[in-house]
Each structure stands twice: as C-alpha cells, then as structure tokens.
Chains A and B, each alone.
Chain A
Amino acid sequence: MSELITVKQQGEARCEGLSYQDLLNEESIEVPAYLRENTNPFMGNDDLDVARWVGRDFHEQEKKKLWPKVWQMACREEDIPEVGDHHVYEIVDQSIIVTRTGETEFKAFINSCLHRGRILRDCDGHAEEFVCPFHGATWDINGNFKGIPCKWDFSHLDQKDMSLPQVKIGTWGGFIFINFDENCVPLEDYLSPLPEHFSRFPLHDYYKGAHVERVVNCNWKVGAEAFMESFHTLETHSEILTFTGDANSQYDTFGDHVSRSVTPMGVASPHLPEVTAEETMRDILELSGRMATDSAEGHEMPEGLTARTYVAETNREMFSDIIGEPLDDATQSELEDAILYMLFPNTQVWTGYHGNIVYRFLPNGDDHNSCIFETMILMRYPKGTKRPEPAMKNTLRPDQAFSEAPEIGGLGPVFDQDDSNMAAVQKGMIASKKGAVSLASYQESRIRHLHQTIDKYLNA
C-alpha cells in the first residue's frame, strides 16, 4: 500500500455502506497490489474560476504552456501498421506527421514544408516519401531531404539543415505519444504508475474494435471531467443505479499525471437500498455498455449467488473464450468494475480483459468553446490468431447522437446522457454570476487534481 495513505486525505468523509476496499475483501482470488492502493492526498477545497473553462486567456496559456510541454496520445500503433503509414495528429494549431519508419520504429515530424510552409500531408495514409503537393519538395520517411524541382534556383539551401524537424515520440500499451518539448521527462517517468497498474492488461496486444468521434460544444476539460467522477450517475444516468455503486466509488491520485476512479458494478447504488439481486442482474446485463452480453435473456441466476459474482463469473467465461486462455487469476473487480485511469491531460483508459474503453478529449482546433470527444474500444482476439484490422474512425456529425454509432453498443445511450450536460455546462459557466465552481471534496477530487497539475504547467 502506498505511503500516501498515512498523509491527510482529500475529504475525510465517505459514503456509508460497503467501500470498494470492503468489496475487495470478499474476493476469493488474491487481490493484486494496485487495487489495494487507496491514495488521495489533500488538495484543498477552494472554488475554481470558470475562466479555466470559458476564458480565452486560459486557452491561450494552455496553448503556450500546456500542450507544448505534455506527453499526449497521438494514435494507436495499429493505426499505422506498415512502414510509411502515417497519422496526421493535430493539437490546437499544431500539426504533426506520426509515421512508422521501421517494424517497431516511429518518428514524428512537424507537418510543414521547409520550402513555403504548406502542410506536407493533408490526412492519414501511406507514403514512400513525403512530397509537398505545392511545389514538390521531397523528404524520405525518415525526414531526410531528397530535393526540390529546379534545384538550380535553390543553391542557397545547400548549407542549410533541410531535415524535417522532429518532436519526441514514445509508445506504451500500443499507444503512440508525442511531446513537443525537447527537454521533457522520459515518457516512462511521465506514465508512472500506469504501466505497473496495467501489467495484467497487455493493451499493446488488444486491437481497436471501435473508434467514434464527435465535436461537442464545450471546452475539452468539461468533456474530460464528465468521465472523472461517478457522482453524476444519480441524476444523469439514474437507470443504471440498480447495478452501479456510484457513491461507493474510490478516487485516487498518483503523482501529477495519473488519477483513477473505481466504481463497483454489480452492486446497487447506496441511494437505492431496496434493490434485489435479481434486479441488479437483469439491468446490468441489459444496460451496461461493457458486459459481454447485452440481454438478460437466457441468464438464470443460481440461488444464493450475488449479482456481482454471477456477472463476474459470466464475464470470466466469455472473456476467456474470446481470448482463448483461462482468466483464473482475474478478480471479480477486474472482470466487471469500472476501473478508469486518466493520463494527464486528456486521455482516459479503462482496465479490463476485453472491451477496454478509451476516451480522448482534444481541443477542437483553436476554439476553446468546443472539443473533439473520441471513444475507442480495445478488444481481444484469440491467442495465436491474426490480429484483426483496427476499426476506422467513425466521425459523427455534430447533430448526430452517440447512439447512432452501433459499434459502441450500450455506451451510446449513456454518452447521449453525458452529452446532454457537456454543452450545457459550458453555456451555464459562461452565464454564471458566481463565476466559479465548487467541487465535492472527495468524489470530484480528480477534477481538482487535473486543474492543480494544469497550474503546475502554466506556472512553470
């Protein structure tokens, strides 16, 4: 257990009833250490100014001091499977070509021609070399300058370094990260303790089974924060309370860049003490976006079994079949709970053996009042079989509901409910006379953590 447990915690009060750690005590399988971590050091209870979300100045500061300094997830390795494949990653007003240069080698170039500045690649794709569509200046995929038509007119370039400028690049879990800062901390330091906590979930071996994105009319942080606390379940997703331990959730922070929420599933909300085990089971099978099945049909809960155990054991069997190997050492918690990590600033990843959800919230270009909300679902495939091709990104129109994306199944209707708040929060913050938001001490502590880390970058 972390030493942090001995320091003052953020919010001393907790919801009555079973805690997540109590549920872990009921596991019949040895609980891995990362689940026993329970750390939420005190961060204070001050209000946060709405300017952080709605102010143009704050966005300009992020543009100058946050995005140029942080490690940020650009894409999945599987998005660019062959040498020469590339992904154009755009953040605020910057554009990067992330390209595969070898079997396990990647490079990230500033997407701007060294002749007249046009972006070199307009979209994702494959290239034997990067030829600027404007005048034809050309680089090989390693960024070495190969020439420009009418060389006689460019003798003055002979003395210049014409290699394409690069930014830092690194990988973890099948994700590719970039960082504009030459002096940044190594990716592995930045990620800690994510790799250790995900050691039972080899995400580099998962494939992207779904990828959906849509513009949402709110600041990227409003979007991210919609997924950083389970407190909103009561009012926003009331139909899932029969199987969601919303107020029993545990919230942790690990250093500056990682935080976690664990929301027990397969148990009823403490707000609904009358719910029976049968109701919990029926609803989780039908309504959870993350169950192996999506219907209660054909499921008979054996006498004396809790819904939590039944669902976990059902998932154990189904996930084992999908993966093609037994999951004997998986805890019930890992088989059904919502264990969601955030990697600062804008990427969130669920743990799990199959169907791990990933969220990313990017500023929508240079607009601080809108963002691009992306969901990916990382899936497993039978060991020893060919890795399936990753899903193409499905870009929904701004007027489309997430439930119009069948590939995300039960998540769609849940996101639609979140969507009903996101733009409305932005609008309400702009209208606010109070000019500040107040956070729950414990349940919204990860949001405070996000902002305190942002401040560290902006004040550096």
Chain B
Amino acid sequence: MVDKKAYLFACVRNAALNDSKLRDRNAPLDPDSAWFSPPDRDYAGEQNLRRALEALPSDQRQVMVLHIWGELTFSQISDLLDLSSNTVASRYRYALAKLRDSMFAKENSCANS
C-alpha cells in the first residue's frame, strides 16, 4: 500500500528537481549577438531575419534551418526527425511563407516609419 501523501510529495519533489536541472542546462542566448554573417553588411537584414526566425514555431524553424543552411534534402530531414517527407515539406512551406511575410512586413513598417 503506497502512502498517497508521500507519493504526491515525491512527485512534486522530482518535478522541481527536473525543472532546476533543465534551467541549469539551458543558458539564454545573448539577444544582440548575430547569428549570420550578412551579405553586403546588411546588418538590419540580419537582425530582421533573426527576429523572423525566432518568431517561427520551433518545429518549422528546425526544418527551415536544416534545409536552407544545413543543406539537407526533405528526405534526409524526414529521416533525421522521424517524420514523413510530406510533413517536412508542408512545414517548410509554412515556414517559408511566414518568414517572408514577417521579414517583408518588418521592412515595410521600417520603410514607412
């Protein structure tokens, strides 16, 4: 017979320990540090791209980064992420559209202001 109260305490304790371990493992990135070397010293474009990538859902960002900068095919990405090729292609299409909208919307808003 398991003591319910003790069991509950053990659950909460383990969850708190796991959380603290995770926090120690993940160091926050410096928000101002560049991710890319921009063409023609287009630093504003680099910042724009970074912000747009940050705004993407992580599953779409993964596929985008692996395909564009990792130069992996959809088939290779599907093997890597254990997804179907169709899912990978669909995520990529969504990500590309969102990225373009986000970047051009930002550029337009910058131009207007």
On whether the two chains bind one another, the answer is no
Give residues in B with beta carbon < 8 Å to A: none
